[in-house]
Amino acid sequence: MPAPANFAILRRARRVWAVSSIHGEAVRCSALLDALRVRLEPGDRIVFLGNYLGFGGGIVATVESLLAFRRDVLARSLVFASDVVFLRGSQEEMWQKLLQLQLAVNPREVLAWMLRHGVGATIAAYGGDTRQGEAAARDGPRSIARWTTALRGLMSQHPGHQALMTSLRHAAYSDDMRLLFVHAGIDPARPLSAQNDALWWGVPGFAQLAAPFEPFAMVIRGRDPAGGGVQVGPYSLTLDGGCGFGGPLIAACIDPDGRAVAWIDA
């Protein structure tokens, strides 16, 4: 299996709460986390399925709420750090690539593509200036490096934010290998260790998986790039309610057999 540094293992999970893409919707995030706090039971695990950043106007507040929730849960009896998992979503993948923009072969095109896909909201949320980034991309690697260094400095003014971004996992799975949690999907033709961009951007047909993927009875994702909403299939579960695009934020409680036995929406 993949290296533990990139993939989280959920050990002895009684149930797993999975939270869909948040997209900087701080009010919905806070309301869902408040509801989740009172419904957690001993043996529950929590997986946040990525896209905490991007689009919404409350990105910094969203990350603050997630960090506070993690602290609250870890303060409970017999709860360990590995029981709360944060996955990397497409927005977080773009943010990390943005901070290395000076290494891109075509930085102007890369930045323009990222801005079309929502990274501008995260730049603004941390106090950055998109126009300065576009000017730096025209000037060359040294100007870009100064701009990305400034972005890192702005994020570092918020304790815990950069640490969270650098600790995100690519996927999570239960220790009995029945449940797999990903951000946007998987490519059934590739092993889990070789999914690469499919994890962030998905591939068509996820909701119509016709057979189990590897040993997993159910694959759960938190983002549908096509905006198809919540979808329950025999081997896949999509939890994306459209948060950040006018829809609700959703969490589902998954039992060891892959059934969604409880829901929260905000």
- Provide the whole-model pTM: 0.95
Domain of 124 in residue numbering reads as 93-156
The count of domains in the chain is: 2
- Residues whose CB is less than 8 angstroms from the CB of residue 210 and which lie 6 or more positions away in sequence, other chains included: 235
| 161 token code pair | 């934010």
Taking residues 13-25, what's their average pLDDT? 97
> Which residue bears the tokens 């929406």?
265
Is residue 20 in a domain?
Answer: yes
Is residue 34 in a domain?
Answer: yes
- Per-residue pLDDT tens for 98-107? 999 999 999 9
Residue 197 confidence (pLDDT) above 70: yes
One domain, residues 174 and 218: yes
Is residue 2 in a domain?
Answer: no
Is residue 178 in a domain?
Answer: yes
- Per-residue pLDDT tens for 225-252? 999 999 999 999 999 999 999 999 999 9
Please report the pLDDT score of residue 4 as a whole number. Answer: 67
One domain, residues 200 and 99: no
One domain, residues 70 and 149: no
Taking residues 85-90, what's their average pLDDT? 98
Please report the pLDDT score of residue 67 as a whole number. Answer: 98
| 152 token code pair | 């890192």
One domain, residues 23 and 141: no
Smallest Cα–Cα separation from 17: which of 181, 232, 186? Answer: 181
pLDDT band at 263; cut points 50, 70, 90: very high
| 114 token code pair | 């990222």
Q: How far is Cα 189 from Cα 191, in angstroms, rounded to an integer?
A: 7
Please report the pLDDT score of residue 265 as a whole number. Answer: 96
Residue 113 confidence (pLDDT) above 60: yes
- Per-residue pLDDT tens for 131-169? 999 999 999 999 999 999 999 999 999 999 999 999 999
